[in-house]
Structure 1
């Protein structure tokens, strides 16, 4: 049995299962994309954001 055949029988055969897989994949993709985008933004703006300079102004 090939991988495509197994995938077809497990996910694509029923619409409800396919929709559940799509919703779950979108949720995890969105979380991963958000974490990566935030880390890139923090790296580009290092030293300019409040969380990086807060210690200079707090007593």
Structure 2
């Protein structure tokens, strides 16, 4: 990327996110919540795949009547 283009991108990011404190803090909270949702979903999916057949939700039909 040319230096002028990256400077323009940096200026745009600064003007959009960092110029006002309220927008900056809001973007931090929104980013943190989005990261938490994605991380939780990914870790739950991985846990369920690794432990398939060993969890209560997989075997409860064997014990319920």
Aligned length in residues? 59
Partner residue in 2 for 1:53: 59
Aligned partner (choices 7, 21, 34) of residue 13 of structure 2: 7
The whole-number CA distance in structure 1 between the counterparts of 2:32 and 2:45 is 20
Instruction: Report the aligned-residue RMSD.
Output: 1.2
Question: Please, what TM-score do these two structures have when normalized by structure 2?
Answer: 0.82
Partner residue in 2 for 1:36: 42
Question: Please, what TM-score do these two structures have when normalized by structure 1?
Answer: 0.89
Q: Which runs of 5+ in 1 are unaligned?
A: none
Q: Which runs of 5+ in 2 are unaligned?
A: none
Following superposition, the deviation at residue 36 of structure 1 comes to 0.6
Ranges of 4+ aligned residues in structure 1 off by more than 4 Å: none
